[in-house]
């Protein structure tokens, strides 16, 4: 049994040595390989990779921010991010200062819920700019928007293609939007809440 244990230790050391060799330059590998057999030089300690913030790999919810942000939309987004343990990316075509001003009243609620937020300003036409951003960020689970805005109104009225964006779109209805879609009165179930397009 002792021989097996020693053999296993040697195998594990060899695997660790081979793995460490992946990070060596060609010159360092040659120097180590040219050593006499029997002597084992330990591979130099590899530098620890630069710390990447945890938020870069975390799943995210995207919020399309227009010129106003109803509290119902922000409440939905905060509750969803907190429940799913996702972080928040706010996408806007407004200036960064305008976006930060719209988000300022909700900062305390975001902090209290433990939701990390980043603000991204986009350029170009709204749907193509959103599509371009979302295709390059697979960590985004879905996009939320308000019903009264350009994007949400297009989804609710059927003028926006359901496959226009590469992620699901959740249209959050607000209390201020009392009319239904296509001239129909809003039902009690649909007057407030979220509609997935």
- CATH number of the domain residue 78 falls in: 3.40.50.620
User: Cα 153 from chain centroid?
Assistant: 25
Most confident of 5-9, 29-33, 39-43, 144-148: 144-148
Looking at the structure, do residues 40 and 74 belong to the same domain, yes or no?
no
Find the DSSP H helices in 49-106.
71-84, 96-103
Domain match, 90 and 185 both: yes
Same domain, 165 and 123: yes
pLDDT in tens, 132-189: 999 999 999 999 999 888 888 888 888 888 788 899 999 998 876 444 433 333 333 4
Number of domains in the chain: 2
Q: Are residues 97 and 183 in the same domain?
A: yes
Average pLDDT across the chain, whole number: 77
86 & 139 share domain: yes
Cβ distance 136 to 57 under 8 Å?
A: no
124 plus 172 within the same structural domain: yes
User: The domain containing residue 21 runs over which residues?
Assistant: 1-49
């Amino acid at each position: 049994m002792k021989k097996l244990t020693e053999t296993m230790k040697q195998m594990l050391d060899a695997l660790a040595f081979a793995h460490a060799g992946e990070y060596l330059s060609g010159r360092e590998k040659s120097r180590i390989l040219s050593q006499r057999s029997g002597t084992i030089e330990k591979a130099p300690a590899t530098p620890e990779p630069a710390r990447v913030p945890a938020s870069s790999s975390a799943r995210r919810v995207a919020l399309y921010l227009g010129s106003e942000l109803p509290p119902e939309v922000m409440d939905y987004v905060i509750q969803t991010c907190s429940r799913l343990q996702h972080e928040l990316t706010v996408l806007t075509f407004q200036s960064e200062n305008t976006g930060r001003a719209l988000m300022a009243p909700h900062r305390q609620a975001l902090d209290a819920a433990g939701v990390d937020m980043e603000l991204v300003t986009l350029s170009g036409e709204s749907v193509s700019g959103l599509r371009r951003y979302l295709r390059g960020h697979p960590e985004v689970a879905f996009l939320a928007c308000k019903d009264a805005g350009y994007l949400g109104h297009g989804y609710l009225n059927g003028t926006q293609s359901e496959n226009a964006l590469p992620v699901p779109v959740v249209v959050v209805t607000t209390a201020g939007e009392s009319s239904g879609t296509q001239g129909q009165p809003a039902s009690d179930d649909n007057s407030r809440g979220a509609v997935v397009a």
